[in-house]
């Protein structure tokens, strides 16, 4: 049960932003701009960074939902997501993305962990300032979302099918849940 | 020197000027969390939570900006703010705020560290669900801001009095209507 009185049967961050839409709308806008806005990184890659950081923070809800969104966006290459979550170094992604995930992993620990060598490595693999910026901010943002979701003990569904549905919806973009959408939403029935 | 080529501004202002599209929701979130009048936590109390989390994350820029703001609102000097960072249990603050700072400290370590006991304790000191929610989100948000500032190795003025001197102006302008370059 969540630590505070949030709408019942609504999972994760959705229940929290319905409890407090005044802050929720800015959190959704941030997710939309960061993960769906203009970037040199693909939407699938950005969702993968989000899932990777959430996995390191052991946030089951964010990890499962953003991994599902990333799989959906990768399409035929969807297996990349689980490969990366199992072992970044052995996965089939580009060296540039590996270097960026390495930076994201450092940010997850603490900002100061990111070294000049980490940045130089990413640059050598072709990463631009913009991609390094976006990687750091995605990792920082998920260090917030993960703590928000787990710090209030929001409901984490355990059925993988629930996340697959979420992933499809998230792939289209981040829209604040409303009371009306809540009753229509497939995952609400439990 | 910052890790990437940013406009020459201190702390979070560099990356915000570099990326205005993301700066907008980041600032709007800070405005509602820390300054909105529709809150039963005072601005000083909320800035103090942000300051405490920033000190736990060892983020020099954030703990000085927000520590100076907390001092401004709470009408105390920077030594009193430092005392809270060092040992809030012995500080001259309410038991409710102490229980909320305890929750914020757990959030800083990781969301799952918050216990039902801590929540009960905060409730018994009079904290509402909204206050508990906002405490958790302020703590979580500073875990983001701190990582953004330090993860890009931004620079920060080292003279702590600089932040104290600027606090009244920063308190007045808030987090939305201000010029990044001033």
Residues of B in contact with A153 (CB under 8 A): 114
CATH code at position B59: 1.20.1290.10
Is residue B152 over pLDDT 90?
yes
What is the token pair recorded at B167?
């606090």
Buried b (16+ CB within 10 A) or exposed e, B121-137: bbbeeebebbbbbbbbb
What's the confidence (pLDDT) of residue B178?
A: 85
Residues of A in contact with B136 (CB under 8 A): 147-148, 151-152
Compute CA distances A188 → A11, A12, A165, B91, whole Å: 8, 11, 11, 45
Model confidence over A14-47: pLDDT tens digits?
999 999 999 999 999 999 999 999 999 999 999 9
Q: Has residue A190 been placed in a domain?
A: no
Do B107 and B113 contact (CB within 8 A), yes or no? yes
Give the Cα separation of B30 and B174 in Å (integer).
9
> If DSSP codes are grouped into helix, strand and coil, which group holds residue A10?
coil
Residues of A in contact with B59 (CB under 8 A): 111
What's the confidence (pLDDT) of residue B179?
A: 87
Q: Has residue A182 been placed in a domain?
A: no
Q: Does residue A111 belong to the interface with chain B, where contact is any CB pair within 8 Å?
A: yes
CATH code at position A118: 1.20.1290.10
The alpha-carbon radius of gyration of chain A (Å, integer) is: 16
Q: Has residue B14 been placed in a domain?
A: no
Mean pLDDT across B155-172: 97
pTM: 0.96
Model confidence over B40-60: pLDDT tens digits?
999 999 999 999 999 999 999
Cβ within 8 Å of residue B84, ≥6 positions away: B48, B51, B52, B91, B93, B101
What is the token pair recorded at A78?
């969807």
Chain A: give the shortest CA distance to residue B166, in Å.
Answer: 25
What is the token pair recorded at B101?
């700072």
How many domains would you assign to chain A? 1
Q: A29 and B133: CB-CB below 8 Å? A: no
Q: What is the ipTM of this complex?
A: 0.98
Confidence of residue B182 (pLDDT cuts 50, 70, 90): confident
Confidence of residue A179 (pLDDT cuts 50, 70, 90): low
Is residue A52 over pLDDT 80?
yes
Domain range for A107: 12-174
Q: Has residue A86 been placed in a domain?
A: yes
Residue B46 has φ and ψ, to the nearest 5°, of -70, -40
DSSP string, B141-180: HHHHHHHHHHHTT----S-HHHHHHHHHHHHHHTTTS--T
Is residue A182 over pLDDT 60?
no
Model confidence over A147-174: pLDDT tens digits?
999 999 999 999 999 999 999 999 999 9
Q: Has residue A124 been placed in a domain?
A: yes
């Amino acid at each position: 049960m969540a630590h505070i009185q949030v709408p019942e049967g609504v999972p994760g961050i959705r229940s929290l932003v319905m409890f407090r839409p005044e802050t929720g709308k800015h959190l959704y806008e941030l997710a939309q701009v960061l993960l769906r806005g203009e970037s040199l990184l693909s939407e699938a890659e950005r969702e993968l960074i989000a899932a990777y950081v959430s996995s390191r923070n052991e946030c089951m809800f964010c990890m499962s939902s953003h991994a599902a969104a990333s799989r959906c966006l990768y399409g035929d290459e969807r297996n990349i997501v689980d490969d990366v979550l199992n072992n970044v170094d052995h996965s089939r992604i580009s060296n540039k993305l590996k270097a960026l995930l390495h930076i994201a992993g450092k940010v997850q620990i603490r900002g100061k962990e990111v070294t000049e060598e980490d940045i130089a490595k990413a640059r050598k693999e072709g990463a631009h300032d913009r991609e390094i910026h976006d990687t750091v901010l995605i990792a920082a943002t998920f260090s917030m979302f993960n703590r928000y979701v787990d710090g209030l003990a929001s409901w984490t569904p355990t059925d993988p099918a629930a996340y697959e549905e979420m992933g499809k919806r998230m792939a289209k973009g981040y829209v604040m849940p409303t009371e009306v959408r809540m009753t229509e939403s497939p995952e609400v029935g439990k | 020197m910052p890790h990437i080529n940013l406009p020459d501004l201190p702390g979070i202002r560099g990356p915000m000027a570099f990326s205005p599209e993301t700066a907008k929701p980041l600032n709007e979130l800070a405005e509602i969390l820390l300054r909105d009048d529709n809150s039963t936590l005072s601005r000083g109390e909320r800035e103090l939570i942000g300051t405490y989390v920033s000190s736990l994350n060892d983020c020099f820029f954030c703990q000085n900006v927000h520590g100076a703001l907390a001092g401004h609102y709470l009408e105390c000097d920077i030594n009193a703010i430092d005392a809270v960072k060092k040992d809030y249990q012995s500080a001259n603050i309410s038991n409710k705020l102490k229980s909320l700072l305890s929750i914020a400290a757990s959030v800083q370590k990781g969301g799952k560290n918050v216990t039902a006991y801590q929540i009960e304790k905060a409730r018994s000191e009079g904290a509402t669900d909204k206050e508990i929610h906002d405490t958790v989100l302020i703590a979580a948000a500073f875990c983001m801001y701190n990582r953004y500032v330090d993860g890009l190795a931004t620079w920060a003025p080292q003279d702590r009095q600089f932040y104290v001197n600027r606090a009244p102006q920063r308190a007045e302008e808030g987090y939305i209507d201000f010029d990044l370059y001033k």
